[in-house]
């Protein structure tokens, strides 16, 4: 089997690594209000293509990751070129350009032998599955056991978004932290693949700016008949949640790297406590928020966005010494690559990849569970 991946840590055999070719600045749209770091409020965010230098710097670091993975005998595939400068116009919306193919994790996910294309939450990312279609066809043609699922595309019309979200003052966000309502409404199926984390039979899905409860219901109805259990998870102190892989990062059976500033809601944590999983806080990142690249929309917690090559080997950003020391103490072999020039494209090592094959089978890591399926 080529397509076989049930969790985030089993021994890695084949993976897709993103590319910065053709990357553009993400446009301002109802689901995204990009801002420049360390710039006066109101400074307009750039538009159009990223500079050739910025693209080269990111591509060089992505190539470094590819070389490291290949040196470990892992097959690496890359996305196809795509015209991210092309505007998108549907009956419901229009955006002046698209984004990039640096973060396959956000749009593609392998669940066992099923490849799922996420519907996505942002207009500029509506067609982001396209650079991966040739690969999907290749895998799908190569093995009749591979299934391929595209989740329903939402309209992304104005009504799908809650625009006031962007204007709520911090006190309002604090007051609403347990309502888990963000910039998308609950009317349509919306999720980004990176809000999902796979634990064998169980998957957690974060409710966020990029994934709503209707999206989680769709995932439940798709996956429960196939023997999976889907658990919504919440991190009330993250007022701008998007993609769970800088917040809650499983490293091996029984161990999750957690974000000390974004604790898991106690009710959701029971699953882990009742099954003797250990949650270990990541150390503070070595970047202050102000040392992150100016155009990066993610937080300093990209530090904990590590990529597991096996339950004993993990790839970590080169400068994150405190995290490397922690992983070392937890008995991991720690490999490092420089990756900070990739940050402004929305992610680090886990985001910039999509695993196709990890050795292993579906296991139940949560035998102690009270789970109520939808039907």
The residues carrying an active-site annotation are: 192, 243, 351
Instruction: Please give the DSSP secondary-structure letter assigned to residue 289.
Output: G
Q: Which stretch binds ligand ARG (CB under 6 A): 57-65, 182-190, 215-223, 295-303?
A: 295-303
Q: Which of 78, 113, 122, 243 binds ligand ARG (CB under 6 A)?
A: 243
- Cβ burial of 137 (10 Å; 0-12, 13-18, 19+) is exposed
Q: Which is nearer to ligand ARG, 223 or 246 (CB)?
A: 246
Minimal CA–CA distance to 162: which of 198, 145, 141, 187?
187
> Does residue 84 bind ligand ARG (CB under 6 A)?
no
CA dihedral sign of residues 121, 84, 49, 194: positive
Q: In the complex with ligand ARG, which residue's Cβ is closer, 17 or 351?
A: 351
| Beta-strand runs (E) in 18-106 | 75-77, 88-89, 94-95
Determine which residue in the list 59, 242, 258, 324 makes contact with ligand ARG, applying CB under 6 A. 242
Q: Which is nearer to ligand ARG, 4 or 208 (CB)?
A: 208
**Which residues in the chain belong to E strands, given as ranges?**
12-17, 75-77, 88-89, 94-95, 108-111, 114-117, 147-150, 196-199, 202-206, 229-233, 248-252, 255-258, 278-281, 307-310, 313-317, 333-337, 353-358
Task: Return the residue of 20, 66, 246, 349 that touches ligand ARG, per CB under 6 A.
Answer: 246
- Among 5, 287, 299, 303, the residue binding ligand ARG under the rule CB under 6 A is 299
Scan residues 23-62 and list those touching ligand ARG (CB under 6 A): none
Tokens of 175: 């007051």
Looking at 82-90, 211-219, 297-305, 314-322, which segment touches ligand ARG (CB under 6 A)? 297-305
For ligand ARG, the closer of residues 250 and 347 by Cβ is 347
306 close to 334: Cβ distance less than 8 angstroms: no
Residue spans of alpha helices (H) in 245-374: 266-273, 321-329
Give whichever of 30 and 347 is closer to ligand ARG, judged by the CB atom: 347
Among 32, 298, 303, 341, binds ligand ARG (CB under 6 A): 298
Per-residue burial over 302-323, b if 16 or more Cβ lie within 10 Å, else e, is bbbbbbbbbbebbbbbebbeeb
Q: Minimum Å distance from CB 276 to ligand ARG?
A: 27
67: CB partners within 8 A, 6+ apart = none
Choice between 131 and 347, CB closer to ligand ARG: 347
Going residue by residue from 152 to 191, which x/- string records binding to ligand ARG, judged by CB under 6 A? ----------------------------------------
Distance of CA 66 to the CA centre of its chain: 19
Q: DSSP secondary-structure letter at 344?
A: G
State which of positions 327-356 bind ligand ARG (CB under 6 A).
346-347, 351
Q: How far is the CB of 153 from ligand ARG (least distance, A)?
A: 20
- Residue 94, exposed/middle/buried by CB under 10 A (0-12, 13-18, 19+)? exposed
Using the rule CB under 6 A, is 258 a contact of ligand ARG?
no
- Under rule CB under 6 A, how many of the chain's residues touch ligand ARG? 14
By CB under 6 A, is residue 106 in contact with ligand ARG?
yes
Per CB under 6 A, contacts with ligand ARG among 86-105 are 103, 105
Which residues form the interface with ligand ARG (CB under 6 A)?
A: 103, 105-106, 194, 242-243, 245-246, 298-299, 301, 346-347, 351
């Amino acid at each position: 089997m080529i397509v076989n991946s049930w969790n985030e840590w089993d021994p890695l055999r084949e993976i897709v690594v993103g590319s910065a070719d053709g990357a553009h600045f993400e446009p301002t749209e109802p689901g995204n209000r990009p801002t420049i770091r360390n710039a006066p409020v109101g400074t307009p965010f750039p538009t159009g293509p990223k500079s050739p230098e910025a693209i080269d710097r990111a591509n060089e670091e992505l190539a470094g990751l590819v070389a490291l993975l290949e040196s470990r005998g892992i097959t690496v595939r890359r996305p196809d070129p795509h015209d991210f400068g092309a505007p998108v116009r549907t009956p419901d919306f229009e955006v002046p350009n698209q984004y990039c193919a640096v973060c396959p994790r956000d749009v593609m996910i392998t669940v066992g032998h099923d490849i799922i294309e996420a519907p996505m939450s942002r207009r500029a990312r509506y067609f982001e599955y396209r650079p991966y279609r040739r690969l999907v066809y290749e895998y799908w043609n190569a093995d009749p056991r591979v299934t391929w699922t595209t989740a329903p595309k939402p309209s992304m019309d104005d009504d799908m978004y809650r625009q006031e979200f962007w204007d709520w003052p911090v006190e309002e966000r604090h007051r609403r932290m347990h309502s888990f309502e963000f910039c998308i409404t609950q009317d349509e199926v919306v999720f980004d693949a990176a809000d999902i984390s796979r634990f064998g039979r169980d998957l957690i899905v974060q409710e966020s700016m990029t994934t709503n409860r209707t999206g989680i219901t769709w995932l439940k109805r798709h996956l429960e008949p196939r023997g999976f259990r889907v658990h919504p998870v919440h991190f009330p102190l993250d007022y701008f949640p998007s993609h769970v892989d800088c917040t809650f990062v499983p490293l091996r059976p029984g161990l999750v790297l957690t974000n000390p500033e974004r604790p898991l809601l106690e009710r959701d944590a029971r699953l882990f406590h009742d099954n003797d999983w250990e949650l270990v806080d990541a150390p503070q990142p070595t970047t202050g928020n102000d040392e992150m690249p100016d155009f990066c929309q993610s937080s300093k917690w990209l530090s904990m966005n590590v990529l597991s090559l096996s339950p004993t080997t993990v790839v970590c950003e080169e400068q994150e010494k405190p995290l490397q020391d922690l992983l070392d103490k937890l008995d991991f072999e720690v490999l490092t690559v420089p990756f900070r020039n990739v940050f402004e494209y929305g992610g680090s090592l886990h985001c910039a990849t999509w695993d196709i094959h990890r050795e292993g089978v579906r296991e139940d890591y949560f035998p102690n569970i009270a789970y109520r399926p939808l039907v």
